[in-house]
Amino acid sequence: MSNIVAIVGRPNVGKSTLFNRLLERREAIVDSTAGVTRDRHYGKSDWNGVDFTVIDTGGYDVGTDDVFEVEIRKQVQLAVDEATSIIFMVSVDDGLTDTDQEIFELLRKSNKPLYLVVNKVDSSKEELPATEFYQLGIEKYFTLSSATGSGTGELLDQVVKDF
Ligand code: GDP
Ligand code: MG
């Protein structure tokens, strides 16, 4: 049974940037899984010699949050069904939004390992505003800059450890 990590979150939080970063040494496998809709991208990655599949759930990102609302349950359900681990990405630039809370409520019902990742923490200046996400009631979150790659190692160390 292979390990499958889904990246879930609102449009523009940085899901595809992280996805592409995780795949930078690998060839992306796009829509290779039979019966899977085109709005999901799959790729192979590894961390410290542990192989896993990554799903970028963001094909719906072309629209606004309103468009996303229509897709949200479907995408979240697919992620929960397919994934063995879930990265829930939010953005420190936007802060905690109603849509974030809605997604989080859906995700926390699964029994799969769930990682809250606060993206766009490009420097230590953003560490303090990131604490806003404790309002979700979680004990721990990871801060990340998908743009620079900072924080990726700590996140993946934990994700791979929980496989
Ligand atoms: P997605 O819609 O969630 O897949 O988000 P994208 O990966 O397409 O990124 C949305 C925008 O945020 C793009 O303009 C990215 O360059 C930018 N972005 C992604 N990650 C970061 C980050 O860590 N820091 C900053 N400052 N911008 C980022
Ligand atoms: Mg995207």
| Residue 144 banded pLDDT, cuts 50, 70, 90 | very high
pLDDT at 75: 77
Residues 21-57: pLDDT tens digits?
A: 998 655 555 444 444 444 668 889 999 999 999 998 8
The number of domains in the chain is: 1
pLDDT at 147: 94
Q: Is the CB of 17 under 6 A from ligand 1?
A: yes
pLDDT at 34: 44
Residue 125 has pLDDT above 80, yes or no: yes
Ligand with an atom nearest the CA of residue 59: 2
Neighbours of 107 (CB within 10 A): 20
DSSP SS3 for 159: helix
CATH of residue 125's domain is 3.40.50.300
Domain enclosing residue 60, as ranges: 4-161
For the sheet containing 4-9, what is the strand order? 28-29, 41-47, 50-56, 4-9, 85-91, 114-119, 142-143
Rounded to whole angstroms, the Cα distance separating 24 from 88 reads 21
Q: Is the CB of 151 under 6 A from ligand 1?
A: no
Tell me what the pLDDT averaged over the chain comes to.
86
Q: How far is the CA of 13 from the centre of ligand 2 (A)?
A: 8
Q: Which residue has the tokens 């630039």?
A: 93
Rounded to whole angstroms, the Cα distance separating 112 from 84 reads 6
Distance of CA 60 to the CA centre of its chain: 14
